[in-house]
Structure 1
Amino acid sequence: MADKRGVTIRELAQAAGVSIGTVSRALKGQPGLSEQTRAQVMEVAQQLGYDTAKLRTGKPRRMLFLYSRHMGSLASNPFYSYVLHGAETACREAGVPLSLMSVVAGDDVAAQVRRHEADALLGAGYMDPEVMDAVRQCDLPLVLVDHFHPGIRSINDDNLLGGWLATKHLLEGSAQRVAAIFGPLAHYSTSLRAKGFRRALFEAGRLFDPDYEVTLDPALDYREAGRDAMRRLLALPEPPDAVFAYNDSTAMHAIEYCHEQGLRVPDDVRFIGYDDIEAAARFKPPLSTVKMDKEALGQLAARALIEGDTEPNDAWLPVELVVRESSAPAAPPPTPARRPRKQTA
């Protein structure tokens, strides 16, 4: 008997004991499944009265790029502008319209998604549990970028390795007091970068001092939060001589504050950021950073949705250390000239 409420693809997947992606492939007749699994899904769909007309065929008609408003605007957080551009490129090549929607806890996400007439969702960045639940309940193919949730396909860069590379670089430059500035550690990428930071300290035989790891104040404007974090670090009895910032924008805001306090970068404090946004190379001094292909994150996520490849999987893109002037180690003191010994007869 058909469910009067209308059975969702999620309910069908739970009843069949398979993933949403497997259900999607089975109902569309796509390859990659055993005949036994396909038959099992079709049998359960028939038993529950699932309306197969609800399931789209072929590529999506319209894709929706979801971005959490609590992270600020795309202008203040340019990383996601690159991700959006990559997704737009993939959608344009496939002839799929892409629209943008910001979300925050309390929004009627389902109603907004319906207004956009989207049948595929690309979620970019951290979404709190309430928003994540609302997005999942839309019952549409979903891929996450720069975020992770069990049972959902996600695409990230290798944040753990990136945090380790950045910190190891500062330690190898003879820094004695390496500090870090992070955003909320509830964010998937931030937590892994913090883990990489601590691992590099441990491997170098340095004791972890929580005073040297500060988190941006969420009550402050993004720029002011970076400056405030640096102010707190400089107020320590022994201020840091090197700082790893979890993204380039935060690093640049912290450097601005150092300049205002009369400190020289990199002579007094060395810096490295993360993301390699366009402004990093033009900054004064040019900012060292960890680089990844930001547009590729968006392209891969959009292509996965276009191709119907939404099986749960956590893909990691490689990262690369980019060394510029901001992290140059201090020049060693000159070796005093030694007087030649007098020749004896």
Structure 2
Amino acid sequence: MTISMRALAAAVGVSVGTVSRALKHQGGVSPETRQRVFQQAAALGYDLGRLEPAPLRKVLFLLHSQHTRSSALPFYSAVEQGARDVCTPMGIELQPFTVKPSSSIRRQLLLQEADAILAVGFLEPETLAIAQALGKPMTLIDSSAPGLPSVNPDNLAGTQALTAQLLAQGYQRIAFLCGSLAHYSIRLRERGYRQALFNAGRLADPALEGLIPPGLDLAAGVQHVLRQWLAGINPPDAIIAYNDACALEVLRQLRSHGIRVPQQIAVAGFDNIPSAADAGLTTVAVDQAALGISGMRQLLELARHQATRDSLHAVRVLQRASTTR
């Protein structure tokens, strides 16, 4: 005879609610506690078959409003399409949704009546906590948070490889232009840039690290940073932007100043959105659709009460005219 959930909770030394969330792969449980629950369940003969998976009918594709801007849409639209490619054959509705800070976030999410949540890109920790507390299967894409499974491109390795390649081509003063470091992916991309410099025996120059000021749109932010760099005694001879949309704006503004790319300043981006190839932009290729596919597969595993783990997708440098002298 199988033991009860209450007895299993007592054996592990946690509450019944914690055991229930652990067995259902819901949030709010540390990986260590989840592992202890499953180990005790196996040792004591707890019947995992009683956790019948509920079918997913509707999945919320949760995005921050900043990711619905034109500069971010090419990336996240491709992620959404990948997730949709998994959902459509299974009859699952994928509902894009952006919360409004002017009203209750919890109420907004509940009104969507979704069975699971794909949280994509940057979201405020408060929003993530509210979504996680709903107790629905939830996976992060292009982000990371304790206790939640995630799917990410290898951001750190991407900028590390890109910076190393520029160094090998002879570029000496490589700058990094980034947006808010509150974004998980941007933090790792900056770290990869710094790691490549360290590996080459170079110290990062603070004067070559540009941050787009909060409150400025992309064009104004790029203009602000470029003005400082170009007015300096030793301007950069190469600029790595945190994504392709930013890199394309850098290209536009440098050429408007009569600066030849790459002869005077090389430019590179990250993501490989469609317009990057048209512009001859060197970039780091990310399979965005594969991120959406992987995220949906994680959600399906969670809905079936199966174990899942973080997924890190390989990236590769695509060298084009913007860095080839």
User: Scaled by the length of structure 2, what TM-score is found?
Assistant: 0.84
Structure 1 residue 162, shift from structure 2 partner: 0.3
How many angstroms apart in 1 are the aligned matches of 2:113 and 2:147? 24
| Equivalent residue number for residue 30 of structure 2 | none
Partner of 1:205: 201
Give 1:211 shift.
1.1
Q: Which residue of 2 aligns with 1:62?
A: 58
User: Secondary structure, in 3 states, of the residue corresponding to 1:103?
Assistant: coil
Partner of 2:79: 83
Contact 2:285 2:315 in 1 (8 A): yes
Compare CA radii of gyration and give the structure with the larger one. Answer: 1
Q: 1:14 aligns with which of 2, 11, 18?
A: 18
Tell me if 1:301 matches 2:305.
no
- Cα deviations by residue, 1:20-41 (Å, 9 ceiling, x for unpaired): 5189xxxxxxx99954477298
How far apart are residue 15 of structure 1 and its match? 5.2
Q: Is the 8 A contact 1:184 1:216 kept in 2?
A: yes
1:265 is aligned, of 256, 261, 266, to 261
Mapped partners of 2:104, 2:170: distance in 1: 52
Q: Secondary structure at the match of 1:143?
A: strand
Following the alignment from structure 1 to structure 2, what is the Cα–Cα distance between the partners of residues 22 and 110? 17
Q: Which has the higher helix share?
A: 2
- C-alpha distance in structure 1 between counterparts of 2:277 and 2:294, whole Å: 26
Alpha carbons 2:160, 2:192 under 8 Å: kept: yes
Q: Is 1:317 matched up with 2:313?
A: yes
Partner of 1:27: none
Secondary structure of residue in 1 paired with 2:98: strand
The letter for the 2-side match of 1:143 is T
Q: Structure 2: state its 5+ residue gaps.
A: 1-13, 28-37
Q: Distance in 2 between matches of 1:192 and 1:100?
A: 26
Instruction: Quote the Cα distance in structure 2 between the aligned partners of 1:132 and 1:79.
Output: 21
C-alpha distance in 2, partners of 1:66/1:56? 26
Pairwise CA distance, 1:138:
1.8
User: Per-residue displacement from partner, 1:65-85 (whole Å, max 9, x unpaired)?
Assistant: 00011x242532021111111
Asked if structure 1 preserves the Cα contact closer than 8 Å seen for 2:160 and 2:196, the reply is: yes
The corresponding residue for 1:73 is 68
Aligned to 1:28: none
Q: Say if 1:36 and 1:126 are closer, same or farther in 2 by CA, change over 3 A.
A: same
List gaps (5 residues or longer) in structure 1: 1-9, 24-30, 43-51, 330-345
Deviation of 1:114 after TM superposition, in Å, equals: 2.1
Kindly state the Cα deviation for residue 229 of structure 1 after the two structures are TM-superposed. Answer: 2.5
Q: CA deviation at 1:161?
A: 0.3
Q: Which amino acid aligns with 2:25?
A: G
Contact 2:301–2:308 under 8 Å retained in 1: no
**CA distance 1:14–1:58, shift in 2 (3 Å):** closer
What is the CA–CA distance in structure 2 between the aligned matches of 1:151 and 1:268, rounded to whole Å?
Answer: 47
Deviation digits for residues 274-295 of structure 1 (CA, Å, limit 9, x no counterpart):
0000000011xx0000002101
State the aligned residue count. 300
Q: Distance in 1 between matches of 2:129 and 2:78?
A: 26
1:187-215 Cα shifts (integer Å, max 9, x gaps): 11111111110011111122211110111
CA drift at 1:298? 0.7
Q: Is the 8 A contact 1:119 1:140 kept in 2?
A: yes
Q: Does the residue aligned with 1:147 lie in a helix, a strand or coil? A: coil
Alignment TM-score, normalising by the size of structure 1: 0.79
State the shift of 1:226 in Å.
Answer: 2.7
1:12 Cα deviation (Å)?
4.5
Please tell me the root mean square deviation across aligned C-alpha atoms, in Å. Answer: 2.8
Report percent identity of matched pairs.
Answer: 34
